[in-house]
Chains A and B, each alone.
Chain A
């Protein structure tokens, strides 16, 4: 693999030494809410974050606590993002047991799709990338070559529009 030689930390050695430590933190922090794949992904994310922020490490002797902090925060962020995904799925795309509710959800989805077709191409693309493809705002901004704040604003506007439309059609909870 192509790893720069001017790195301050030796990621190979650090990975060998601290992988089990990081994994333990991930297990403890996640409380069995994550799958095995998610945990593996998280561990790799943590080491990547460490490599990316290596210039911020002032004292290499305290690297263990630094890794611990990154591991905790990254796990918390992951759990938070999963929670958001789940609540979104439950509200809009989720599969429900109750027939009436599934009809209600499919009606909502139909309406959202119709409204999306009427929208500006950029707004539609951003919305689909964010909610359907689970892409990060940062990545969307990079793909579309626009500012992060623009993506956020457009998402907010689209959500508001959809909410209004849903409420107008009698869906009380909206988005």
Chain B
């Protein structure tokens, strides 16, 4: 039984799992950031439009 080879295999699996977890975390963060930015952009546009309409009425 080649224990060195097995240990190397375990390490590779752990490294791959770490990489996948990290990648998933980054993707999730990117998604959240994108959604937040979109929401902010939408709200600010909404507010600006409302303000402009108010000023026009005045």
Contacts and interface: CB of A to CB of B under 8 A. Distances in A.
User: A interface, how many residues as a size bin?
Assistant: 20 to 34
Q: Is the interface of B mostly helix, strand, loop or mixed?
A: helix
Contacts of A110: none
A2 to B, nearest CB: 5
Interface string A19-55: 1000100000000000010011101110110011000
A40 B8 CA distance: 11
Interface string B6-36: 1111111111011100000000000000000
Nearest 8 CB-CB pairings of A with B: A1-B11, A44-B9, A48-B13, A47-B10, A2-B15, A44-B10, A44-B6, A43-B6
B2 interface: yes
Interface of B: 1-3, 5-15, 17-19
Interface of A: 1-4, 11-12, 15, 19, 23, 36, 39-41, 43-45, 47-48, 51-52
B5 A40 contact: yes
A46 to B, nearest CB: 9
Contacts of B19: 2
